[in-house]
Amino acid sequence: MSPRLVSFFALALCASLASAQAPAPEQPAPAPATAPAAAAPAAAPQVSVEEAYRKEFAFLSAQKRELESQLGRMRDTAAQQQAALNREIGALEARVLSLDGEAQSLDEQLRLADESAVVNADNSNTLEATYAQAGATLEGLGNMLAKDAAFGELGDADKLSRLYAAAASQLGALSTVRKDKGSFFLADGTQVEGEIVRIGNIAAYGISERGAGALAPAGGGELKLWREPADEVARAVAAGQMPAVLPIFVYENTNQAVSEPEKKTVAGEVRKGGPIGYTIVVLGLIALILAGLRAWFLWQAGAKVQPIIDAASPLVRQYQIPEAIEAVKRHKGSAARVLTAALRNIDRDREHLEDIIAEAILHESGRLNRFGALILMIAAVAPLLGLLGTVTGMIQTFDVITEFGTSDPKLLAGGIAVALVTTELGLIVAIPCLLLGNLLSGWADGIKDDMEQGALKVINLHQERRERPQAAVARA
């Protein structure tokens, strides 16, 4: 039961109860007896609350049934409408799904069409590039097929067929050894007319009255004589002969000139190093001269040690010290001076005499070590100068990169190579200087040891000579 019907039923019930409980109207006072003839009034009807409630209940039940019937009909109508709406929604959803599928199909077709368009454009560009490249290649070989107006009106298949046919014909012509009249440049840059023997399209020989040999590209489709001499081979090939050795220069095309490799010389490498390179070379020459002078000094000093000892030893054994001093003075050099100092003080005690010899050798060390420190200093400075030159060259190379970019790797490689030349020169100077300096220092130390040993030998001979009489007296 709906809330509205319940409310209505409660309101009716309250009204019935109120009417049933209302007080009965007061009865009028009885008429005086003096009027007995008047008729008595009719009695009021009795109202039954139960009957009224029953009637009201019946009325409300009827209304309830009617309302329930209306509610059922409304529910049926609403269910039918909802079912119809659900069917309509389902149809719309199916329509939406169908449209989505169609949209996806159209998107896929559009994507395929775009890809096909891109592929077609790429194919078209590839074909156009192929036509242009093939036409340029054939044009460079003297075939002007691509310039023909009728060729441009052909379809792609016909164009490719014509190009392949022309290329095959041209390859057949270029795969043979042939002779042509033409011109080429000599080594001095003079252009001469002559006969050119072409080996396919990758090499050629030129023969003229003024020169012959293998040809290399000179740029712009021209040829020039290569630096390697091949006069006899070129003339033999032109005569149809096959020499045992075939010096040849193979090239890809003649449009770009081929530069001959630079011949490296010592002067050229030093020139690349600039002022720092010249400085390193000058220091190397100075070190070489100093090493030669020191070697000459040491050779003289070392060669005189043994002859001086041999000249002084017999006189010392005979106890002829003044004669021994004079014999030693006839020789010049460090060894003579050390031995002279030892002979002059030969009568002193042994410890004092050894100190005198050590002092004399120390005094001569300055002469024996002459130029040694300077040679080692040059050996240490040369690599540093080379590093300085390399850093300077790299800075200049990066300046070039900043100004002109990196479009020419050959230019950058050349700049880096020039920068490294100074390091190379520095190492070339430092390594020999270091070796020579250490070898000469060791030689000087050996000469000092020889002088010390010679002086001690003379002292020992003198003491043996002096101890003999004492031993004879002791035996007597």
Confidence class for position 381, pLDDT limits 50, 70, 90: very high
* Cα gap 127→336, rounded to integer Å: 97
pLDDT at 29: 42
Query: Average pLDDT over the chain, rounded to whole?
Result: 77
Is pLDDT of 425 > 50?
A: yes
- Report percent pLDDT > 90 for the chain: 15
AA identity, residue 424: E
- Considering all CA atoms of the chain, what is the largest pairwise distance in Å, rounded to the nearest integer? 226
pLDDT at 89: 93
Confidence class for position 467, pLDDT limits 50, 70, 90: low
The answer to whether 248 and 236 have CB atoms below 8 angstroms apart is: no
Structure tokens at 410: 């050959």
Confidence class for position 283, pLDDT limits 50, 70, 90: very high
* Cα gap 225→206, rounded to integer Å: 7
3-state SS, the chain, equals CCHHHHHHHHHHHHHHHHHHCCCCCCCCCCCCCCCCCCCCCCCCCCCCHHHHHHHHHHHHHHHHHHHHHHHHHHHHHHHHHHHHHHHHHHHHHHHHHHHHHHHHHHHHHHHHHHHHHHHHHHHHHHHHHHHHHHHHHHHHCCCCHHHCHHHHCCCHHHHHHHHHHHHHHHHHHHCCEEEEEEEEECCCCCEEEEEEEEECCCEEEEECCCCEEEEEEEECCEEEECCCCCHHHHHHHHCCCCCCCCCCCCCCCCCCCCCCCCCCCHHHHHHHCHHHHHHHHHHHHHHHHHHHHHHHHHHHHHHHHHHHHHHHHHHHHCCCHHHHHHHHHCCCCHHHHHHHHHHHCCCCCHHHHHHHHHHHHHHHHHHHCCCHHHHHHHHHHHHHHHHHHHHHHHHHHHHHHHHHCCCCHHHHHHHHHHHHHHHHHHHHHHHHHHHHHHHHHHHHHHHHHHHHHHHHHHHHHHHHHHHHHHHHHHHC
In this prediction, residues 458-463 reach a mean pLDDT of 71
Q: Give me the phi and psi of 303, to 5 degrees please.
A: -70, -20
Bridge partners for 141 per DSSP: none
* Cα gap 69→74, rounded to integer Å: 9
User: Would you tell me the crossing angle of helices 49-140 and 3-20 to the nearest 10 degrees?
Assistant: 160
pLDDT at 27: 41
In this prediction, residues 308-318 reach a mean pLDDT of 73
Q: Which stretch, 9-13, 184-188, 423-427, has highest mean pLDDT? A: 423-427
Give the lowest-confidence range in 226-235, 294-303, 305-314, 373-382. 305-314
Handedness of CA 234, 236, 241, 242 (dihedral sign): negative
Higher pLDDT: 168 or 68? It is 68
Is pLDDT of 23 > 50?
A: no
Q: Which stretch, 136-140, 171-175, 289-293, has highest mean pLDDT? A: 289-293
pLDDT at 22: 44
The closest of 331, 358, 326, 327 to 342, measured between CA atoms, is: 358
AA identity, residue 219: G
In this prediction, residues 283-301 reach a mean pLDDT of 88
pLDDT at 280: 92
At 384-421, the pLDDT tens digits run 999 998 888 888 878 777 777 766 666 666 677 778 88
* Cα gap 344→349, rounded to integer Å: 13
Residue 303 makes CB contacts below 8 A (sequence gap 6+) with none
Higher pLDDT: 273 or 468? It is 273
* Cα gap 41→176, rounded to integer Å: 160
* Cα gap 261→265, rounded to integer Å: 12
pLDDT at 328: 73
pLDDT at 284: 92
The answer to whether 187 and 210 have CB atoms below 8 angstroms apart is: no
pLDDT at 6: 46
The answer to whether 47 and 23 have CB atoms below 8 angstroms apart is: no
- Report percent pLDDT > 70 for the chain: 81
In this prediction, residues 61-66 reach a mean pLDDT of 89
Distance of CA 20 to the CA centre of its chain: 114
pLDDT at 429: 92
The answer to whether 324 and 433 have CB atoms below 8 angstroms apart is: no
pLDDT at 196: 84
Question: Which stretch of DSSP H or E encloses residue 198?
Answer: strand 191-199
* Cα gap 430→444, rounded to integer Å: 21
DSSP, collapsed to helix, strand or coil, labels residue 409 as: helix
pLDDT at 363: 75
Is pLDDT of 471 > 50?
A: no
Higher pLDDT: 389 or 307? It is 389
Is pLDDT of 287 > 80?
A: yes
pLDDT at 33: 42
Burial of 245 (0-12, 13-18, 19+ CB in 10 A): exposed
Confidence class for position 46, pLDDT limits 50, 70, 90: low
At 224-242, the pLDDT tens digits run 888 777 778 788 877 777 7
Burial of 107 (0-12, 13-18, 19+ CB in 10 A): exposed
pLDDT at 135: 77
Is pLDDT of 463 > 50?
A: yes
At 153-176, the pLDDT tens digits run 777 788 778 878 887 877 776 777
Burial of 73 (0-12, 13-18, 19+ CB in 10 A): exposed
Structure tokens at 401: 């990169």
Is pLDDT of 201 > 70?
A: yes
* Cα gap 128→138, rounded to integer Å: 15
pLDDT at 54: 85
